[in-house]
Amino acid sequence: MNSIAAHSETQKAPRRYPVAFASAFAPDGRRRRWGIAYRCPHCHRHHFGLSWTPQVGGIRRSGCGRRIWVVISRRYPADALQPHTVNTQANEVNR
């Protein structure tokens, strides 16, 4: 038997998972875990995931149950999610 043929028969190709580009949200307030939001490449719907560590990328199971490769494209810090304050002085001048 040819050694090349024997080697190719026992070796499998690595499994490739579809990529989902996600936005990561830092813990803030009562939320103690990292949150990620992404669009699933299988069902084309949006899913939300949680993680205890900031390293939320990699292979994981999506909300629809299929495996995906999550790549973090944007990371939002906790202070970016605070509501904007309204400038009351500008509102008083316009009245």
The answer to whether residue 6 is domain-embedded is no
- Provide the number of structural domains found in the chain: 1
The answer to whether residue 5 is domain-embedded is no
Provide φ and ψ at 76, rounded to 5°: -100, 125
Report which of 58, 23, 20, 59 is spatially closest to residue 39, judged by C-alpha positions.
20
pLDDT digits (tens, 9 = 90+) for 56-93: 889 999 999 999 999 999 998 877 655 555 555 555 55
Residue 30: which domain range? 23-78
The answer to whether residue 89 is domain-embedded is no
The answer to whether residue 47 is domain-embedded is yes
Average pLDDT for residues 27-38, to the nearest whole number?
Answer: 90
Longest dimension (CA), the chain: 91
Q: Residue 15: pLDDT above 80? A: no
Query: Are the C-beta atoms of 54 and 48 separated by less than 8 Å?
Result: no
The answer to whether residue 14 is domain-embedded is no
